[in-house]
Amino acid sequence: MYERFQIPIARLLVFLGRGLLLLFFLLGCAISPAISPVWASAIALPLDGAIARVDATDVKVSLGSSSGELKFFPDRFEFVAGRTYKLILDNPSSQKHYFTSKDFADASWTRKVEAGNVEVKGAVRELELKPAAEAEWVFVPMKPGTYKLRCTISGHAEAGMTGEITIAPSQSQV
């Protein structure tokens, strides 16, 4: 008696399964054109690499040089409020340097800092780079203004290891 029911139930399950697949397919077609890029990135977030999926503008800066110059290369930065940037820092020199701009850091929202295999989330004030170190700082500048940058190692700022970071207003803030 049960055996006679088993086949129709199996068929019913297959039928339902196909129906669900078709439903998902149709829903997917209907929804996908309506997804804005913002939604799309939000949906992509949990899938892989989380924040790395957000489109960030890469900006590179070297702290010092291999010939020992006490400067930032480059030493002027301009960011637009509300956009996401990835500042890629490296230290090609033979001594330790700092990338310090407290006011700029306060005027920005830090998504994360990555160095080596460590990812740090939360507020950032200052980044210390030992010789040959590299780090990535992903942030969104928020408050328009001009901010001073310096290396806080004794004597370095005095020798020229300073810079300027400008946050320009976004289109909507103009």
Smaller CB distance to Cu ion: residue 111 or 156? 156
| Order of all β-strands in the sheet with 134-141 | 72-73, 57-63, 85-90, 134-141, 108-115, 118-120
Smaller CB distance to Cu ion: residue 153 or 165? 153
Which range touches Cu ion (CB under 5 A), out of 22-30, 45-53, 135-143, 144-152?
144-152
DSSP-based three-state secondary structure for 89: strand
The reply to whether 71 sits near Cu ion by the rule CB under 5 A is: no
Q: How far is the CB of 160 from Cu ion (least distance, A)?
A: 10
CB 70 within 8 A of CB 64: yes
Q: How far is the CB of 106 from Cu ion (least distance, A)?
A: 21
The reply to whether 156 sits near Cu ion by the rule CB under 5 A is: yes
DSSP code at position 138: E
Rounded to an integer, what distance in angstroms lies between the CA atom of residue 28 and that of residue 31? 5
Q: Is 41 left (phi over 0), alpha (psi -120 to 50) or beta?
A: alpha
Q: How far is the CB of 101 from Cu ion (least distance, A)?
A: 13
Rounded to an integer, what distance in angstroms lies between the CA atom of residue 174 and that of residue 168? 9
The reply to whether 97 sits near Cu ion by the rule CB under 5 A is: yes
Determine how many CB atoms are found less than 10 A away from the CB of residue 94.
Answer: 11
In the complex, residue closest to Cu ion by CB = 151
Which range touches Cu ion (CB under 5 A), out of 20-28, 75-83, 91-99, 107-115?
91-99
The reply to whether 61 sits near Cu ion by the rule CB under 5 A is: no
Which range touches Cu ion (CB under 5 A), out of 96-104, 106-114, 139-147, 162-170?
96-104
Residues contributing to the site for Cu ion (CB under 5 A): 97, 151, 153, 156, 161
